[in-house]
A and B are shown apart, each in its own frame.
Chain A
């Protein structure tokens, strides 16, 4: 029996196991929404903007380790997705974005709501498709899911012209993917693995740098085993947070520009860096020449293009970090704690500190929340100083529980990502930690949360401005504070209440404990607004061009 290719698209999604799609309808994507109307397997979540749909798909994907799906119409719908797609690309998150497109015969004529979205997104999609023939739809969906989820994960976009979507085809879902130009390598080279194990056995001051790859590959167990077997301390990148339990004696916490003093010093003193699923991003390395100057470098990454891009490794290994770590583990000798471990213990005495002023500090709120949840929650964040404090001070003990925009640093990510996370793990407490600036970028999504009866928790640090940018201006612009203070902020408590969300505002230490209990116990959504000082800086801080062991306030 023939069906429209829009229906073929929906059936293909069902076969791929998609149970939730985040999106927003419009003219060019009418046929797809019409077919979706009949689907019993796919729940569609109507967000309040397309950007939020993409972020929600990303939050869903990161927590569930499945492919997230978002949809939008042509033109403005598609361009609104762009930030979300770029955010997913930079953090290697597998999402499939489906956009409607004007009819094939009209493409290129600048008709109503036409935009070249495959052209626009080429630089930050793993791959994209403009569907020309209806019978290609099943194959393209199959390929899109395969490409998004294998190798280094990333976003794939499918642009479906309206006339193609309406064309009827005989539906048959392909069993196999045939892509001669795409063959991700998963097994590491055995010789390189032996060399790596040998280097680890010989090293006296090794440090593991675990990146987002460990979270996305589910390699946390292998990482823990390797670290424990040879007593190797583990630092993580921002994306690697949660890959190694931060309450473990071998944990060094986060490394880099706002990393812990002990992680930054340990890496600088080390004689062997084992980078696992980390890409040596500029926020992690500081000045490259000063990064682990005396260390050999083992670099494990699934993406060959990351090897040698930022830092030249001595032992490169291309492969799935889970498989590679498991292989290395076999050849690594068990080791007892050494002088290096004593040195690490010594370094760890100097923790991240902050002045407890008479006022409520954002840092103590995060530490208190961390203690209350015991790490058993999914924390999403927005972007700003609040994000850095979460990364520094919340003790993450489980993989994929810290969901934040690392590579692109996209304000407005946290709230929609929390919505996606909640769909992935409905039983978990999902808490978005946000600043007043970021919150205002996508706060319309409160409606999506309420409409879907999600129990989302929010801690909003209101410093009436853009704290992290203010800090940059303090250091780099001689305190010329340009456009970082809001002249007006809404009453966030009343705002939340207008959505039927319980909310509370606090500005003192005494109220904190009770307010956090209220937040955690509330069955529905809850917003806790904390009034804090915008002059509170994030320390330690490594200035541009400095090596990471030269920290201000560290």
Chain B
């Protein structure tokens, strides 16, 4: 079972290694981890996709909360949130198959961001399923390189993940 957690942390050096270290030490599996600063430059937000049952996810949350640099841990409910991942794919693109690849890219609303004689780079954003489907379709052409950012997620509507200032 995959669970997405949103983790607000102090933007200090060493925080990432503490979080990553916690996962390896306690034997938790990370599917993906994306990190960047928030609207407040003192605070970073990590989006972590954890693979594990309910017990594991509870433990991950509690252990993360024990880290002094971790300010808040929230679970992201898939139905109530938007999640996206960005992927860059360099695919073999000899002239005779190019138009076919461009066609697939258009259907997925992907962007072609670089073209060279034998290959091109395509940029796609979407949720996990969309990215995987796209990858599947491009495989026959020959994928030379593929880079994913890892999932990031935000709750829909008025629900926000922020630190309460009075806390």
A191 within 8 Å of B by Cβ? no
A488 within 8 Å of B by Cβ? no
B55: chain A residues within 8 A (beta carbon): 308
Partner of B17, one of A122, A179, A180, A305: A122
Within B49-102, the residues touching A (CB, 8 Å) are 55, 58-59, 62-63, 65-71
Could you list which residues of chain B lie within 8 angstroms of chain A, going by C-beta atoms? 9-10, 13-14, 17-18, 21-22, 25, 55, 58-59, 62-63, 65-71, 163, 167
Complex contact A308–B58 (CB within 8 A): yes
Known A122-B18, A181-B10; judge A147-B68 contact (CB<8 A).
yes
- Tell me the bound Cα distance from A350 to B167 in angstroms: 54
19 A-B contact pairs sorted by A residue (CB < 8 Å): A118-B14, A122-B21, A123-B22, A123-B25, A126-B68, A127-B67, A127-B68, A130-B14, A180-B71, A181-B9, A181-B10, A181-B67, A181-B68, A181-B69, A182-B68, A305-B62, A305-B65, A308-B55, A309-B59
Query: Nearest CB to that of B58 among chain A residues?
Result: A308
Q: How far is the CB of B25 from chain A (nearest CB, A)?
A: 5
Q: How far is the CB of A184 from chain B (nearest CB, A)?
A: 10
A40 within 8 Å of B by Cβ? no
- Tell me the bound Cα distance from A406 to B59 in angstroms: 23
B63: chain A residues within 8 A (beta carbon): 305
- Tell me the bound Cα distance from A147 to B65 in angstroms: 14
B69: chain A residues within 8 A (beta carbon): 181
Complex contact B17–A119 (CB within 8 A): yes
- Tell me the bound Cα distance from A307 to B59 in angstroms: 9
Q: How far is the CB of B43 from chain A (nearest CB, A)?
A: 9
- Tell me the bound Cα distance from A43 to B22 in angstroms: 37
A303 within 8 Å of B by Cβ? yes
Query: Nearest CB to that of A309 among chain B residues?
Result: B59
- Tell me the bound Cα distance from A183 to B55 in angstroms: 24
A130: chain B residues within 8 A (beta carbon): 14
Q: How far is the CB of B78 from chain A (nearest CB, A)?
A: 24
Give A123-163 as 1s and 0s: 1 = Cβ < 8 Å from B's Cβ atoms: 10011001010000000000000010000000000000000
Complex contact A183–B167 (CB within 8 A): yes
Q: How far is the CB of A319 from chain B (nearest CB, A)?
A: 15
Complex contact A180–B58 (CB within 8 A): no
Count chain B CB atoms within 10 A of each CB in A181, A304, A308, A309 and give the residue with the most.
A181
- Tell me the bound Cα distance from A123 to B25 in angstroms: 7
Apart from A181-B69, A181-B70, A305-B65, 5 more pairs, CB < 8 Å: A179-B68, A181-B68, A181-B71, A182-B68, A309-B59
Q: How would you classify the secondary structure of chain A's contact residues: helix, strand, loop or mixed? A: loop
Complex contact A304–B65 (CB within 8 A): yes
Give A301-331 as 1s and 0s: 1 = Cβ < 8 Å from B's Cβ atoms: 0011101110000000000000000000000
Known A119-B17, A180-B167, A181-B10; judge A304-B62 contact (CB<8 A).
yes
Q: How far is the CB of A297 from chain B (nearest CB, A)?
A: 16
Query: Nearest CB to that of A179 among chain B residues?
Result: B68
Q: How far is the CB of A107 from chain B (nearest CB, A)?
A: 11
Q: How far is the CB of B68 from chain A (nearest CB, A)?
A: 4
Complex contact B67–A305 (CB within 8 A): no
B167: chain A residues within 8 A (beta carbon): 180, 183
Query: Nearest CB to that of A130 among chain B residues?
Result: B14
Q: How far is the CB of A541 from chain B (nearest CB, A)?
A: 29
Complex contact A305–B21 (CB within 8 A): no
Q: How far is the CB of A313 from chain B (nearest CB, A)?
A: 13
- Tell me the bound Cα distance from A307 to B62 in angstroms: 9
- Tell me the bound Cα distance from A182 to B62 in angstroms: 13
B22: chain A residues within 8 A (beta carbon): 123
A309: chain B residues within 8 A (beta carbon): 59, 62
Within A55-72, the residues touching B (CB, 8 Å) are none
A307: chain B residues within 8 A (beta carbon): 62
- Tell me the bound Cα distance from A226 to B105 in angstroms: 71
Q: How far is the CB of B64 from chain A (nearest CB, A)?
A: 9
Count chain B CB atoms within 10 A of each CB in A126, A127, A305 and give the residue with the most.
A305
- Tell me the bound Cα distance from A324 to B44 in angstroms: 35
Q: How far is the CB of A90 from chain B (nearest CB, A)?
A: 14
Query: Nearest CB to that of B64 among chain A residues?
Result: A305
A118: chain B residues within 8 A (beta carbon): 14
Known A304-B62, A305-B66; judge A180-B14 contact (CB<8 A).
no
- Tell me the bound Cα distance from A122 to B22 in angstroms: 9
- Tell me the bound Cα distance from A25 to B114 in angstroms: 59
B59: chain A residues within 8 A (beta carbon): 305, 309
Query: Nearest CB to that of A308 among chain B residues?
Result: B58
- Tell me the bound Cα distance from A355 to B155 in angstroms: 68
A181: chain B residues within 8 A (beta carbon): 9-10, 67-71
Known A122-B17, A130-B14, A180-B167; judge A303-B58 contact (CB<8 A).
no
Q: How far is the CB of B37 from chain A (nearest CB, A)?
A: 16
- Tell me the bound Cα distance from A183 to B18 in angstroms: 19
- Tell me the bound Cα distance from A123 to B63 in angstroms: 11
Complex contact A303–B66 (CB within 8 A): yes
A304: chain B residues within 8 A (beta carbon): 62, 65
Query: Nearest CB to that of B59 among chain A residues?
Result: A309
Give A90-131 as 1s and 0s: 1 = Cβ < 8 Å from B's Cβ atoms: 000000000000000000000000000011001100110010
Within A163-198, the residues touching B (CB, 8 Å) are 179-183
- Tell me the bound Cα distance from A270 to B102 in angstroms: 71
Q: How far is the CB of A148 from chain B (nearest CB, A)?
A: 11
A182: chain B residues within 8 A (beta carbon): 68
Query: Nearest CB to that of B63 among chain A residues?
Result: A305
Q: How far is the CB of B132 from chain A (nearest CB, A)?
A: 34
- Tell me the bound Cα distance from A149 to B132 in angstroms: 49
B58: chain A residues within 8 A (beta carbon): 308
- Tell me the bound Cα distance from A132 to B9 in angstroms: 19
- Tell me the bound Cα distance from A127 to B63 in angstroms: 13
- Tell me the bound Cα distance from A122 to B66 in angstroms: 12
